[in-house]
Amino acid sequence: MNFWRNIAKPIIGLSPMDGVTDASFRFIAAKYGPPDVTVTEFVNVEAALYAPHTLIRDLAYSEIERPVVAQIYGHTPELFYKVAHVIGELGFDGLDINMGCPVKTVASKGSGAGLILKPELAQSIIRAARQGIEDWSAGQTLDDLSLKPALIQGVRELNRRRFDRETSRARRAIPVSVKTRLGYDDVVVETWIQTLLEEKPAAITLHGRTLKQQYKGSADWDAIARAVEIAKNSDTLILGNGDLRDMADVYRRVCETHVDGVLIGRAAQGEPWIFRAKEHVKQALRSQCGEMIHDVPVSLAERFSVMLEHSAHFAGHTQIHSFVGMRKHLAWYCKGTRGAAELRAQMVRVKDIDEVAALLRAYAESLGAAFAANYPPTSPEPHTLRP
C-alpha cells in the first residue's frame, strides 16, 4: 500500500533532522500540526542490528504520527534487507533511505550523501530494502533472519507498548522512498535522479544543496524543478526541501517548481504548529497561484503550554535519562518572545521539567497578573501524556 498517493497534494511533511525529530518532537508536531507525513531521525542499519537499544529509542513512535516513515542509512545492502524486516514488523507506513547526510564521518564511509558517488551501490540498497519488505510481508519473520535475541525482544516490547501485542497489524508491503541531495561536489541532479528513478522509489525528497555546501548558501530550487521535470512521466513523487521558512515559502516554491510536496525542517523547530496552515496552502493552490499565505498565529500562553507538554513527554517517553536533549527545543520555543535572549539563556541550563515550569511561571508573572492568571501554574505529569 503506497500511502504517498493518498495524501492531497502538495504533501507538506516533517523532515527528519538528526538530534531533533525524536519521538517527543514528532508527537508534539503531530498533535499540534499535524504534518501530512512524519519521518524519524535516521538510524544506522548496523546500530539497528547490533545495538538494539538505539533502535528501540530512535524508532519509537506514536499512533497520531501516521503516516510515519522510518529513515535508515548505511552502505551494506544485506543489512538494509534485514532492517527492512524490522521496520515492517514495527508497523511503520514507509521506509526511507537517507542518501543525503553531509556529515563527513557518514559520507566518507559511503553512506548518506556518499552514495551519490556510488550509484550502483545506491541502487543495490534500494533493491535490498524493497526485497526485505516484500519477504517480510510474505511471511518471513525476524527469527528466520537469526537476529540478536535482544533486538527481537526490543521490537516485541515496542509493539506491546503501542499495539498491546507483540506483532504489528497485518503484514503488508510498504513503500520505499529516498531522501538525497543535488550532488556531492557539484550539481548532478539530472544523472543522479535518473539513476534513482530506475529503481522506482515511491518518492524522492531532494534537498537543494550539494554535500560540499553542507547547509551553507541558498537551496537551489531551480535544480529541484529540473528533477520534477525528469520524473514527470514516472510513478515517483518529487518533494523539495531546503530554506522553507514558513508556509508562504512552501506556497511559492510549489507554484514555481510544481513539486509534489515538501518536507519542512528547521522552520518547525520551536514552531511545531507550523503545519496548521497546510490546508490553507492546499486550498490556495487548488484555485490559483498568487494568493497571500500566512502562518497560523499562536498565543504566548499556548506556546508556553506546549513547551511544558513537550518537556513532560520528553521526560516520560524518550528513554533518554538526561534532560540535556530537551534544552535546544526550549531555546527554539523562546524565539519571538519579549526578552527572548534572557529566557533562552536560562532554558539551556535547565535540568528537569520543574525548572522549566518555574522559569515560565516567573516569566508569566513578569508580564502581569492578567497573563499569569491564564497560564498553567504547574507542569503536567509525564505519565498523563500517552504516546
Q: Round to whole Å and give the CA distance between 320 and 318.
A: 5
Tell me what the mean pLDDT of segment 36-41 comes to: 96
Find out whether the peptide bond into 10 is cis, omega within 30 degrees of 0: yes
Lowest mean pLDDT across 42-46, 86-90, 289-293: 289-293
Tell me what the mean pLDDT of segment 167-186 comes to: 90
| Whole-structure pTM value | 0.91
pLDDT band at 271 (very low <50, low <70, confident <90, very high): very high
pLDDT value for 53:
82
Closest CA to 337 of 353, 312, 359: 359
Contact present, 80 and 46 (Cβ < 8 Å): no
> Which residue segments constitute the domains of the chain, with CATH numbers given?
3-287 (3.20.20.70), 300-384 (no CATH)
Q: Which residue type is seen at 234?
A: S
**Residue 372 in this model has a pLDDT that exceeds 60:** no
Q: Round to whole Å and give the CA distance between 201 and 96.
A: 9
**Residue 28 in this model has a pLDDT that exceeds 90:** yes
| pLDDT tens string 87-128 | 999 999 999 999 999 999 999 999 999 999 999 999 999 999
Neighbours of 334 (CB within 10 A): 23
Q: Round to whole Å and give the CA distance between 155 and 152.
A: 5
> Which of the pair, 366 or 353, is modelled with greater confidence?
353
Find out whether the peptide bond into 67 is cis, omega within 30 degrees of 0: yes
The greatest distance separating any two alpha carbons of the chain, rounded to the nearest whole angstrom, comes to 65
Contact present, 232 and 197 (Cβ < 8 Å): no
What residues does 69 pair with on adjacent strands? 39, 94
pLDDT value for 210:
95
H/E run at residue 328: helix 324-333
Assigned C-alpha cell, 180: 538525497
Query: Helix, strand, or coil here: 141?
Result: coil
| pLDDT tens string 305-338 | 999 999 999 988 765 668 999 999 999 999 888 8
pLDDT value for 377:
46
Task: Output the CA angle 43-48-49, nearest 5 degrees.
Answer: 155
DSSP at 258: -
Q: Round to whole Å and give the CA distance between 34 and 334.
A: 21
**Residue 292 in this model has a pLDDT that exceeds 90:** no
Q: Round to whole Å and give the CA distance between 48 and 86.
A: 9
Q: Round to whole Å and give the CA distance between 27 and 291.
A: 31
b/e sequence 158-173, b meaning 16+ C-beta within 10 Å: bbeebeeeebbeebee
Mean pLDDT over the full length of the chain: 90
pLDDT band at 383 (very low <50, low <70, confident <90, very high): very low
Q: Round to whole Å and give the CA distance between 72 and 90.
A: 14
Contact present, 71 and 97 (Cβ < 8 Å): yes
Contact present, 94 and 202 (Cβ < 8 Å): yes
Q: Round to whole Å and give the CA distance between 194 and 376.
A: 53
**Residue 269 in this model has a pLDDT that exceeds 90:** yes
pLDDT band at 286 (very low <50, low <70, confident <90, very high): confident
Q: Which residue type is seen at 204?
A: I
Tell me what the mean pLDDT of segment 273-279 comes to: 93
Give the contacts of 149 (CB within 8 A, at least 6 positions apart): none
